[in-house]
């Protein structure tokens, strides 16, 4: 009886081993890519090109993103980026430009890696490290849908190169980072400031107020953040800096 039990147990081990070997030897399921839209720019077909930022879906399945050039809002049709929408129709995706940058005060060439985000009302938010009022050091912008499929831009923040994407908290406040700027005391070895982490809060009159959460100092705590922030469950923010820190090679904070 003991011998029979050992035989059954050994057979089960062999069966499991055989299945494992077969699974390891089986080829992985091939992954295929499908191009949804080819960005192009010619004399006859002009439009947004160089989509550096990520994409975001709306509730209807349309895609939204930013292009670094080709928006036609600058001195030439090529200069100035854009915010675009991709809509699927009859199995094909068509592109529509929602806003062209390049007029100077309204931004210039968005390239935020995280791309755009929606609020609950269907407004889009993003960053652009170039253009804007004053020295042209970038903007945080809002795009709101209006009549006949048009969108209206509103500048929420000017200055200091906001390159990373934005995130919302549960109360509707926006959080992000700027590549430069910061208080005079924290500038360290950064000529134009080592950057900041900021909060933008909506006001009852439809405006936004800015609050600097942290001024980066360079060597001590990092400098020049370029990526979006994230929250943990307790409400703490996490991110990276592209430089600074103990070895001058960046930090995670």
Share of the chain above pLDDT 90, in %: 54
Residues 187-224: tens digit of each pLDDT: 667 888 899 999 999 999 989 999 999 999 988 889 99
- Closest CA relative to residue 208, chosen from 168, 245, 165, 154: 154
Spatial distance between the Cα atoms of 39 and 78, rounded to a whole number of angstroms:
13
Place of tokens 């809060």: 201
In three-state secondary structure terms, 209 is: strand
Lowest mean pLDDT among 66-70, 73-77, 121-125, 136-140: 73-77
Residues 117-153: tens digit of each pLDDT: 999 999 999 998 888 876 678 899 999 999 888 999 9
Q: Residues with Cβ < 8 Å from 105, sequence gap 6 or more?
A: 131, 132, 133, 155
Check if the beta carbon of residue 197 is closer than 8 Å to that of residue 177. yes
DSSP state of 106: T
Spatial distance between the Cα atoms of 58 and 121, rounded to a whole number of angstroms:
11
**Phi-psi label, residue 104: left if phi above 0, alpha if psi -120 to 50, beta otherwise:** left
pLDDT band at 108 (very low <50, low <70, confident <90, very high): confident
Spatial distance between the Cα atoms of 76 and 63, rounded to a whole number of angstroms:
27
pLDDT band at 74 (very low <50, low <70, confident <90, very high): low
């Amino acid at each position: 009886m003991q011998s029979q039990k050992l035989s059954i147990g050994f057979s089960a081990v062999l069966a499991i081993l055989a299945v494992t070997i077969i699974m390891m030897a089986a080829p992985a399921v091939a992954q295929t890519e499908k191009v949804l839209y080819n960005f192009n720019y010619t004399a006859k077909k002009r439009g947004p090109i160089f989509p550096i930022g990520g994409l975001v879906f709306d509730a209807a399945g349309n895609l939204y993103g930013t292009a670094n050039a080709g928006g036609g809002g600058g001195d030439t049709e090529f200069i100035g980026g854009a915010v675009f929408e991709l809509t699927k129709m009859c199995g094909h995706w068509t592109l529509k430009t929602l806003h062209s940058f390049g007029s100077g005060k309204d931004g210039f060439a968005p390239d935020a890696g995280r791309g755009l985000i929606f609020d609950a009302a269907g407004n889009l938010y993003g960053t652009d490290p170039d253009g804007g009022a004053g020295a042209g050091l970038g903007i945080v912008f809002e795009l709101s849908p209006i009549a006949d499929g048009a969108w209206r831009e509103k500048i929420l923040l000017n200055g200091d190169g906001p390159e990373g994407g934005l995130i919302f908290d549960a109360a509707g406040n926006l959080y992000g980072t700027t590549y430069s700027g910061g208080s005079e005391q924290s500038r360290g070895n950064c000529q134009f400031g080592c950057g900041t982490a900021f909060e933008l809060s909506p006001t009852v009159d439809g405006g936004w107020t800015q609050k600097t959460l942290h001024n980066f100092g360079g060597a001590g705590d990092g400098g020049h953040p370029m990526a979006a922030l994230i929250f943990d469950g307790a409400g703490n923010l996490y991110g990276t800096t592209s430089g600074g820190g103990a070895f001058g090679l960046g930090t995670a904070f």
